[in-house]
Structure 1
Amino acid sequence: MKKALLAAISMMAIGALAGPALADGELHIYNWGNYTNPDLIKKFEETYKVKVTMDDYDSNETMLSKVRAGNSGYDIVVPTDYTVQIMIGEGLLEKTEPSQMENFKNVRPEFVNVYWDDGRHYSVPWQFGTTTFTVNIAKYKGDINTLAILFDTPADLKGRINMLDDINSVMHAAERYLGIPRCGDDKANLKKLNDLLQKAKPDWRTFSYDTQAKMLSGDVDVTQDWNGDSFRIRQKLPTATYAWPKEGIEGWMDNVTVLKGAKNLENAKLFQNFIMDPKNAALISDFAGYDNGIKDSHQYAANPDWASSPEINIPKDAPTPEFVKPCSPEVVAIYNKIWTNLRK
């Protein structure tokens, strides 16, 4: 207790010398569910004397709808790459200039000049990963590294599959299986896409983001999901195996951004800088299991098996993950019609 008190006093003294590190007030964060380490938030609160409140969402579309409606009350949101580009285009984000922040030097070079925010004027990395699917290989012994698992389902897995309730992940996976372009507007290809999804749907059990519960309860034997999520499933179900389908892999990065007109703008900027510290980035990955885009963070990981795990490290013979830019409004409209019909 005495050591803890002395440490706290020391931290306060250091903060006093640092000047800007002494903050106060509030910060309101809107992030994906089950995605934020409480220890990270506690550390930020104690470092800057800022009270953080959090709400969560289950899709970029849910978050974007709320933000577009206005007066959300949030300072920070955590959109995926393509959504960042959309939000910048619509004037929904503050230009916080992360590239000028103290900890920006820690961002991995490949994540500086990114298509969604070239040079990082609005966003900083939160976590990145891939989207394929996880199979319980105790229930299925065949080849899992193919999207045929989802779209030409083997007899052993029919009715045992959960798909993400995510229009883009489902659509783009089907396009990869068909060998047609992502976001293409060719009517013949869009018909092939619709036909494939309608054919596959009877072999699926559910559409849900609650992938861990689905797999761990035994409700399904396959779930479309993300690599960090699959890592967390495997900690409790050792036979859960993440697939690297030969037809292609979805890549993505979630990013911390600040909403235009954020009430707690300076605290939001502090948070952006805070998570670019390798020790803090490691806390993010410790909780959710994804890589984070910050140099030297792996050495601080609490789980020594995480950095070398098969979910995080892409096999040399697997396709390079593809980051898909936003589709045109015309294609989005057609996607929405296909999706609405699929979800009936």
Structure 2
Amino acid sequence: MKRTLAALAFGLLASTGLAQADGELNIYNWGNYTSPDMIKKFEEQNKVKVTITDYDSNDTALAKIRQGGHGFDIVVPSQNYVPIWIQEGLLLESRPDEMPNFKNVAEDWKNPEFDPGRHYTVPWAMGTVGVVVNTDVYKGPIDTWGIIFDTPAELKGKVNVVPEMTDVIDAAVLYNGGTKCTGDKEILKKVRDTLVKAKPDWVAMEYGTIEKMGAGDFAASSDWNGSALRQRLKNPAIHYGYPKEGFVNWSDNIAVLKDAKNVDNAKLFLNFMMDPENAGMNSGFHRYANGIAGSDKFMPDDMKGAPEVEIPEDVKARGVPSQTCAPEVQELYTKIWTELQK
């Protein structure tokens, strides 16, 4: 007797470890970064109740999972942190490369250095780190880290810094003529001095830039490009600058935790997020590009050609890839960061 289409579909899912399962899925992710409509679609399709818990930085997430007893199934680390998660045995080798929807991952993202062959992670979002400025407040050039580290008079006391340690220190390294993950003590001394000198001109070190830039509480901030787009859509005077000293290209990636309780549902979610329509729906919420080919067809029209999303050709050469720094460099970064918090 012929197998039904439903049975064939189930067989395909089962053969790749994606057997249908109802129940729960607990996602640990950056705040304000997950499309509610996309989650609702996943829940309805799979009869799975999803709970999302927010974190505000890579270091916060890593520290929480290291402690154990967290109850989460999914995490979304940045690419420079993925090797740390893998090396510490915190991620399940879930083999996204063997899932049915892996065929939709863009060629440039199928074999990244941080996860060769995609044995652990699936693309979530990609973007850049730059500066946002309210040009009603400041009329000068915004394509420089000088907005943050040598703040113009009009912006003093109105600048925020998003407190993601690696992003801030990388920016200061580039501003001082160094290269990402440098261990050069002279450069790092300049970085430390630059940050300590600049801090009195900042009004805050917070993550909530979308709301506070839009409300006028901040007039400038270091920030991520998708956040900048969301700000501009609220206030056309807010613009995103790609610093001439250099900027970092990054990606965030979905992974299943080694001690996940709902592994089947977590794998279903990874496969779900490699579908172009679902990835596009998610990008339409968080406003970043992603690594799923064809997903742009499902994104809002205001993302197409947006300078925050599509890096202008004349600045692409300034971008440097996010990477995992050597432990001894990471330790130096942490010392600088600790001093900055005093």
- Whether contact under 8 Å (2:72, 2:257) holds in the other structure is yes
1: CA distance between counterparts of 2:286 and 2:109? Answer: 20
Q: How many pairs are equivalent?
A: 331
User: 2:290 — aligned with what?
Assistant: 292
2:128 alignment counterpart: 130
* Per-residue Cα deviation, 1:204-235 (whole angstroms, up to 9, x for no partner): 11101111122112111101111111110111
Partner of 1:308: 305
Alpha-carbon separation, structure 2, partners of 1:193 and 1:182: 12
Contact 2:249–2:320 at 8 Å: present in 1 too?
yes
Question: 1:96, 1:258 within 8 Å by CA — same for their partners in 2?
Answer: yes
Flag structure 2 segments of 5+ consecutive residues without an equivalent.
14-18
Q: 1:15 to 1:159 in 2, by over 3 A?
A: farther
Deviation at 1:285, TM superposition (A): 0.4
State the secondary structure of the residue aligned to 1:251.
strand
Provide the TM-score with structure 1 as the length reference: 0.93
Does structure 2 retain, via aligned residues, the 8 Å contact 1:31–1:57? yes
Specify the SS of the correspondent of 2:313: coil
Distance between the aligned counterparts of 1:221 and 1:278, measured in 2? 36
Amino acid at match of 2:203: R
Q: Which of 260, 263, 266 lines up with 1:265 in the alignment?
A: 263
Cα-to-partner distance string for 1:235-282 (whole Å, 9 max, x where unaligned): 111111000111111111110000003111111111000010000001
- The correspondence for 1:211, drawn from 209, 212, 223, is 209
Q: Is the 8 A contact 1:284 1:292 kept in 2?
A: no
**Tell me, what secondary structure is at the counterpart of 1:250?**
strand
CA–CA separation in structure 2 for the residues paired with 1:325 and 1:311: 22
User: Which residue pairs with 1:18 in the alignment?
Assistant: 9
SS at match of 2:24: strand
What is the alpha-carbon distance in structure 2 between the residues aligned to residue 37 and residue 14 of structure 1? 30
Q: Is the 8 A contact 2:131 2:147 kept in 1?
A: no
What are the residue-to-residue correspondences of 1:108-123 with 2, within 5 Å? 108-123=106-121
Deviations 1:7-31 (A, max 9, x none): xxxxxx9766632463211111101
Residues in 2 aligned to 1:188 and 1:176: alpha-carbon distance in whole angstroms = 13
Identity rate of aligned residues, in percent? 52
Aligned match of 2:320:
322
Task: Choose which of 209, 219, 222 in structure 2 pairs with 1:221.
Answer: 219
Instruction: Answer yes or no: is the 8 Å Cα contact 1:15–1:22 preserved in 2.
Output: no
Partners of 1:29 and 1:55 within 8 A in 2: yes
Aligned to 2:52: 54
Counterpart in 1 of 2:77? 79
8 A Cα contact 1:22 1:49, kept in partner: no
Candidates 233, 257, 260, aligned match of 1:235: 233
Q: Which moved more, 1:151-160 or 1:119-128?
A: 151-160
Instruction: Report the secondary structure of 1:54's partner residue.
Output: strand
Matches within 5 A, 1:190-209: 190-209=188-207
- Per the alignment, residue 247 of structure 1 pairs with 245
**Amino acid across the alignment from 2:200:** P
Cα deviation 1:98-148 (Å, max 9, x = unaligned): 111111111111111211101100000001101111111111111111111
Q: 1:14 to 1:217 in 2, by over 3 A?
A: farther
- 1-structure distance, mates of 2:309, 2:5: 36
Which runs of 5 or more residues in structure 1 are unaligned?
1-12
Tell me the distance in 2 between the aligned counterparts of 1:45 and 1:112: 27
Match of 1:341 in 2: 339
Conserved 8 A contact 2:20-2:264:
no
SS in 2 for 1:31: strand
Deviation at 1:37, TM superposition (A): 0.6
SS of aligned partner of 2:63? helix
- Asked if the contact 2:244/2:318 (under 8 Å) is kept, the reply is no
The AA in structure 2 aligned to 1:306 is M
Seen in structure 2, the aligned counterparts of structure 1 residues 194 and 219 have a Cα distance that, compared at 3 Å, is same
Q: Which amino acid aligns with 1:18?
A: A
Q: Which moved more, 1:303-312 or 1:248-257?
A: 303-312
Aligned partners of 1:77, 1:84: CA distance in 2, in Å?
Answer: 10
User: 1:188 & 1:230 partners in 2: Cα distance?
Assistant: 33
**Match of 1:28?**
26
Contact 1:278-1:296 within 8 A present in 2 as well: yes
Looking at structure 2, the residues matched to 104 and 190 of structure 1 have their Cα atoms a distance apart, in angstroms, of 41
- Which piece of structure 1 moves more, 149-158 or 277-286? 149-158
Q: Which residue of 2 aligns with 1:140?
A: 138
